[in-house]
Amino acid sequence: MKRENRKVPAGGTVKIGKKQHEKPAKSLKTAKAAKPAQNRPRGEKQDKKTLKIRFLGGVGEIGKNMTALEYGKDIIIIDAGLTFPSENMPGVDLVIPDVAYLAQNKSKIRGIVITHGHEDHIGGLPYILQDISAPVFGTKLTLTLIENKLKERKINDAVLNCIKPNSVVKLGCFSVEFINVNHSIAGAVALSITTPVGVVFHSGDFKIDYTPVSGEVIDLTRISEIGKKGVLLLMAESTNVEREGFTMSESVVKETLEHVFSDNASRRLIIATFASNVHRLQQILDLAKKYKRKVAFSGRSMINIAEAAEKIGELKIPDNLIVDVEKTGSFKDGQIVIVSTGTQGEPMSALTRMASGEFNKVKIGNNDTVVISASVIPGNEKMIYGVINNLYRLGAEVIYESLEPIHVSGHALKGELRTLHALVKPKFFIPVHGEYRHLKKHAGLAEEMGMKPHNIVIAEIGDTVETDGKNIKLGEKFPAGSRFVDGVGIDGADSFVLRDRIHLSEDGLLVAVVAVEELSATLSSVEIVSKGLMMTENTVAEAKAALSNTLKQVDMRALRDETELSSIIRRSLRNYVFKATKKNPMIIPIVMVV
């Protein structure tokens, strides 16, 4: 891949694509005087151009964020994320947006703008860039993380453009300004997008932190200036809309971590945190140096992000502080802190394997204090509490969010969302980044602040929202949904592979081996093998008997081929097994001619 030589400086502008901003439209009276309707040439279109906001992900769900803005012959894309599979997606590694519509219109795409480097905003990019080609714009850390992902997928021709907050990028008829915000990762930005019908403000993921441990305070001044000039549409994240108040500052976590280090002087510390939270990693490194501990990173993503962040100067690692996790046994417990992945109880993460005793590099014992510096993502409660229970069983002390203020959210609470709405003062509003209940609650918050209900649109994946600057409405549906990544393969939401896996996981597998004598064309033997299906020996014997009786009544010579015989076998077994077990297993007939 290649980075553009020209970085976009703060306050700078770069132009992409041939098309520039259209001239302001003439007044309606002037237009009519210039070309009366009755004299308009036959076939000339009279419909006014509208801005179309197409949702490919991130609405009605948390994750897989991706939105496209389309006007005339220009399209820009905001984010390209992924989500992780649910329990009803056996064997699936990742879920990414279906970009069939964008692939069909790839000649219109002027660029992809990324708000920050979390997986739910950049994780789908390596796969999506195989279908569409467009320059990518993001801050330094965001692009570094993207670069690593593209290398893994062996994508070498991507054009990455490094921007700074306050930079302005021209993409066809769109002008995109990047605005610094606070989040749980460095380099997060909001977007102010000037379109031919008005300004669209996209919050990205944000919170308002007046005392961040690193980086700048959110640029409320610039957001206010944009609001005063007039914002047509606000799209704002909705993750924490159900929680009142304001998000705690990251500096609160720093105080808690200080106590953890000071109160556990003779104990080994194991701290699990999100690998992408570079500010949190910096706090841990600084405290380790202060309390004369060596640091060992555990988990591939933790090591990769730490290396990437250090390379670009976002993470400052003191000399001689880092040791290999395999060498931690040669130090006293009070001289080591292990920084690990696994805050959500992910099955293959370092912390989960430590808790289950399957991590040969680190064995948990009575002199360990384990800190889980993250909140539990909804849906992961069972996994992470299972890890905590196992850690306690092994003798460790565990500190987590329920006990100490060891993590603060990177997402705005109600108080901060109200502040954003008050500063931006949009004419229209679309809540994004949340499940449907979050979007509904955020719409209610906007109404409480005086917005008229007909100026608020709740969208779902595949929806197009249209606005001409005066009105807003739901427009056409377009092809959208999910695609599944399984190893190196990618499949659509209607994947027969996934359907088969679900079928197997729910109802099991039944294999019927039928031998037919070639000369006499008579049944020789029947064997039945079941997997994942509760069948007693008697049930299996009865199924064999029922199938044998059915086949003895079949004139084998009259059958056209083995396919017809296989259909008879499936039908016979399906009827019997459903009556006996109330299950509908996948049935595989094997016909052998002997």
pLDDT tens-digit readout, 292-321: 999 999 988 888 889 888 988 889 999 999
Question: What's the 3-state SS for 358-395?
Answer: CCCCCCCCCCEEEEEECCCCCCCHHHHHHHHHHHHHCC
Both 268 and 358 in a single domain?
yes
Residue 37 placed within a domain? no
pLDDT band at 577 (very low <50, low <70, confident <90, very high): confident
Both 276 and 419 in a single domain?
no
Both 425 and 359 in a single domain?
no
What CATH number is given to the structural domain containing 375? Answer: 3.40.50.10710
CA-derived radius of gyration, the chain: 29
What CATH number is given to the structural domain containing 503? Answer: 3.10.20.580
pLDDT band at 2 (very low <50, low <70, confident <90, very high): low
As a whole number of angstroms, the distance between CA 431 and CA 412 comes to 13
Taking residue 249's Cβ as centre, other Cβ atoms within 10 Å add up to 18
Both 103 and 238 in a single domain?
yes
Both 188 and 315 in a single domain?
no
pLDDT band at 117 (very low <50, low <70, confident <90, very high): very high
As a whole number of angstroms, the distance between CA 249 and CA 407 comes to 10
pLDDT-above-70 percentage for the chain: 85
Segment holding 126, helix H or strand E: helix 125-128
**For the ranges 23-32, 495-504, 543-552, which has the lowest average pLDDT?**
23-32
Both 206 and 283 in a single domain?
no
User: Are 302 and 338 in contact, with CB atoms under 8 Å apart?
Assistant: no
Averaged pLDDT for residues 60-85: 93
* Reported pTM: 0.77
Residue 486 placed within a domain? no
Residue 483 placed within a domain? no
Residue 31 placed within a domain? no
> Structural domain tally of the chain?
3
Residues comprising the chain, all counted: 594
**For residue 290, what are its two tokens?**
């202060």
Residue ranges with strand state E in 24-164:
51-57, 66-71, 74-78, 94-97, 109-113, 136-138, 159-162
Both 185 and 265 in a single domain?
no
pLDDT band at 376 (very low <50, low <70, confident <90, very high): confident
Both 98 and 233 in a single domain?
yes
As a whole number of angstroms, the distance between CA 321 and CA 295 comes to 6
Q: What pLDDT, in 10s, does the model give residues 6-46? A: 455 555 555 554 433 333 333 323 233 333 333 333 333 43
Both 11 and 153 in a single domain?
yes
Residue 552 placed within a domain? yes
**C-alpha to C-alpha distances, 124 to 150, 229, 541, 559, nearest whole angstrom:** 10, 35, 50, 50
The domain boundary, picked from 342, 376, 399, lies at: 399
Residue 302 placed within a domain? yes
- Amino acid 282 reads Q
Any idea what the Cα angle at residue 578 is, between residues 574 and 581, rounded to 5°?
130
Both 414 and 308 in a single domain?
no
What dihedral angle (degrees, nearest 10) is formed by the CA atoms of 206, 211, 214, 217?
50
Residue 554 placed within a domain? yes
* Pairing relationship of beta strands 231-237 and 463-467 according to DSSP bridges: unpaired
Residue 489 placed within a domain? no
Q: Collect all residues with Cβ–Cβ distance below 8 Å to 436 and sequence separation of at least 6.
A: 60, 458, 460
Both 15 and 121 in a single domain?
yes
Domain ranges, residue 176: 7-22+47-245+410-477
What CATH number is given to the structural domain containing 447? Answer: 3.60.15.10
Both 225 and 239 in a single domain?
yes
The domain boundary, picked from 364, 399, 434, lies at: 399
Choose between 32 and 518: higher pLDDT: 518
